[in-house]
Copies of this chain bind each other. A is one copy, B any other.
Amino acid sequence: MAGVKDVARLAGVSVATVSRVLNDSAPVTEETRARVLAAVAELGYRPNGVARSLRTDTTRTVGLVIGDILNPFFTELARAVEDEARSAGYSVVIGNADERPGRQDHYVRTLLEQRVDGLLLCPTAEITPLVRDVVRDGGPLVFLDRTLPGLDVPTVRADGTAAIGELVAHLARLGHRRVAFVSGPALLSTGRERTEAFVAALRANGLPVRPEYLEAGDFQAASGRASAARLLDLPEPPEVIFAGDNLMALGALDEIRARGLAIPGDVGLASYDDVPWFTHVDPPVTAIAQPVQDLGRRAVRALLERIARRPVEPEVLAARLVVRRSCGEPGPDRGAEDLAVRPLGAGPQGGDLTKEGSGPA
């Protein structure tokens, strides 16, 4: 493959001049520039990014390690990260950890060896020694979507506490008292926080907190299904199952369907994470939507700041409740209101729930 040298020779200039033309890093006569460009075109020269990176110690590339590429939440996130990075002149290399610490480490290591300029990590449940090392060495690292306890790393994530509060209030208003939650791994902030928020919301709304209604999943569909099965096998099964992410909701849905149960008649379903197809399920699934675009965008901005060695503040965005019909008919706006404890700091309407049109009519 042709290199600068060949181009230089053909254009009758030095390699330095070629480089100057290509990066316009210094003024060059219009005439030589033309000759160089012609030579480049003629040889079909493509600069060797590897050599350039070695010399400049910069790859204009950021790494993104996501939890699970089959999870629409993460693909949307990847998309957002990608867009923002591209517009800043960076490429994104995606690694799929598949929620496995081993795979995560594999990618972190590979990306680090490939000398990405920065790393966006949605950490898996376990704090691996590798991640601890990287944090200690203070490389440009930003956590996305999740934090790990005891690790001081800038993080961009969404907080669903308020939305979960609204959801539980909504459920209480519909007359439900037995509500179960299928959480993610407790080590993950997204697992722990959602559980805590859920329990707090139960208390705030005067609903019982039963340990057997607290299932621990792993954010994958299979665990959602297994948890749903255990819940439904309980002597007194819950009236509503709230899944901690969209995949576990899918799993729960599978299990509910397999048993031939009616939603929300026999059991209601709600999900953390909103995905496009929730609208088309029968009935449409009530969900908590995260500001995915924003999450991705801000994470990239934060990372670029860190790459520029500027300090960055952690960012926490708010998730919001989207009420549909899978937990029961919301019914007319009045009614049931007396049953419900008003959500934290909400007005008479019960907070600014987003109410979607309830389908055709």
Chain A residues within CB distance 8 Å of chain B: 44, 46-51, 53-54, 59, 61, 69-70, 72, 75-76, 78-79, 82, 86, 91, 93-96, 106-107, 109-110, 112-115, 133, 137, 221, 250, 253-254, 257-261, 276-277, 279-283, 359-361
Q: How far is the CA of A44 from the CA of B130 in the complex (A)?
A: 10
Contact A113:B46 (CB < 8 A) given known A257-B360, A260-B360, A260-B361: yes
Q: How far is the CA of A86 from the CA of B82 in the complex (A)?
A: 22
Interface centre among A76, A254, A259, A360, by most chain B C-beta atoms within 10 angstroms, is A360
Contact A113:B280 (CB < 8 A) given known A75-B75, A360-B259: no
Q: How many copies does the complex hold?
A: 2
Q: How far is the CA of A137 from the CA of B45 in the complex (A)?
A: 12
Q: How far is the CB of A316 from chain B (nearest CB, A)?
A: 25
A360, B261: Cβ atoms closer than 8 Å: yes
A114, B50: Cβ atoms closer than 8 Å: yes
Q: How far is the CB of A270 from chain B (nearest CB, A)?
A: 15
Q: How far is the CB of A1 from chain B (nearest CB, A)?
A: 9
A79 partner residues in chain B, CB cutoff 8 A: 69-70, 96
A94, B94: Cβ atoms closer than 8 Å: yes
Closest to A74 in B: B75
Instruction: List the 7 shortest-distance A-B pairs measured between CB atoms, nearest first.
Output: A282-B282, A260-B360, A49-B113, A277-B277, A49-B114, A50-B53, A280-B281
Q: Which of B48, B113, B250, B257 contacts A47 (CB 8 A)?
A: B113
Q: How far is the CA of A276 from the CA of B257 in the complex (A)?
A: 14
Other contacts beyond A48-B115, A253-B280: 5, CB < 8 A: A47-B113, A50-B53, A70-B75, A79-B96, A91-B95
A277, B257: Cβ atoms closer than 8 Å: no
Contact A76:B82 (CB < 8 A) given known A280-B282, A360-B257: no
Q: Which of B69, B360, B361 contacts A75 (CB 8 A)?
A: B69
B96, A110: Cβ atoms closer than 8 Å: no
A115, B82: Cβ atoms closer than 8 Å: no
Closest to A280 in B: B281
- A-B residue pairs in contact (CB < 8 Å), sample of 11: A46-B113, A70-B76, A72-B72, A91-B93, A221-B276, A250-B280, A253-B280, A257-B359, A277-B277, A280-B281, A281-B282
